Amino acid sequence: MAQKSVVLMPGDGIGPEVVGATVEVVEAATAGDPAITWSEVLMGGCSIDVHGTALTDEVLAECRAADAVLLGAVGGPKWDTTDPDAPRPEQGLLGLRAGLGLFANLRPVKPPPALYGASPLREERIAGTDLLVVRELTGGIYFGERGRTDDSAYDTCPYSRDEVERLARRGFEAARGRRAKVTSVDKANVLETSRLWREVVSGLAAEYPEVELEHMLVDNAAMQLVSRPADFDVIVTENLFGDILSDEAAMITGSIGMLPSASLGAAGAGLYEPVHGSAPDIAGQGIANPIATCLSAAMMLRYSLDAPGAAARIDDAVAATLDAGVRPRDLGGDADTRAVTDAILGALA
């Protein structure tokens, strides 16, 4: 029987609640195969409170030695600050991505038919939507040189050919197993970085003749995501654009509490987390929606723990729960965290 190690980062706000529920679901779905060793650590605001930093060297080392990392959420008003020298919870997440070499963030968006009515878009507009946003994570404006004076500020957006190629390759490989279409999103009519991006992606496409490639400017992509989301298969884009577009795409399902994500590198542990934040306004009330974290764990089983069967069982159990009419509060229902978890466990059983 396979042995796997997972580092748990419950984090802040509702993080501990949804992570706790997800561990129950994973244990039920795997039934000990693989046998998972869970190790809980601090990261985010909770780590700042104890250690004065969002991510310690010891925690990063433990993550590097593990097969996967499962994160709840980080942040909250307690740690909000405009002081550039003060520690912030989000620094832990950025440090984790960089320290583990996680350059590709995968966010699937596939609203289940049972939730078509929960979307802010009309049912006929979202029906059949099944897309994957592949976002670059370790380059671009979030990691470029920055500075400010009393009267001005600047942020630079550097990308190398290798950084673009490895991200685009991940997108093309994903498209091979899907509907064989890649939409590369840039701003090549204005930005030199985007012109390099388009050049590299176009060159790589020759290695994937079975995959259709289209280029789309980011402003147009933002419009098309809400007007014809079902036409997209795999969206490949840089860090800033991906951050914005993936959150926009998340709302197609009706709630950001439904969306999972995976952050992957060339090798080593992957990081799995729900798209939603720490929701401090409902923390500790037992009403958080655990579905996005459960689906993130399904991605973890599929990509890092070599357990696709268990992953499929979780996906199916979530779908069965929604088909049965169970609705957490962010989807207009009255099911609390315990009720949603028990429904998923019941479907697994």
* pLDDT of 1 over the 80 cut: no
Catalytic position from the list 130, 155, 231, 247? 247
142 in active site? yes
Residue 72 and residue 167 in one domain: no
Domain boundary among 203, 226, 253: 253
Instruction: Output the pTM of the full model.
Output: 0.90
Report the CATH number that the domain containing residue 216 is assigned in CATH. 3.40.718.10
Residue 249 and residue 138 in one domain: yes
> Comparing C-alpha atoms, which of 86, 134, 89, 82 is closest to residue 108?
134
Domain boundary among 253, 269, 293: 253
Structural domain boundaries, residue 227: 120-253
219 in active site? yes
* pLDDT of 195 over the 80 cut: yes
57 in active site? no
315 in active site? no
Catalytic position from the list 219, 281, 323, 334? 219
Residue 199 and residue 177 in one domain: yes
**Structurally, how many domains does the chain consist of?**
2
CA dihedral in degrees (171, 296, 277, 49; nearest 10)? -110
The tens digit of pLDDT for each residue in 264-281 reads 998 889 999 999 999 999
For residues 279-286, average pLDDT: 96
159 in active site? no
For residues 23-27, average pLDDT: 98
Residue 143 and residue 245 in one domain: yes
Residue 47 and residue 71 in one domain: yes
DSSP reduced 3-state for 20: helix
Tokens describing residue 258: 């439904």
Residue 341 and residue 309 in one domain: yes
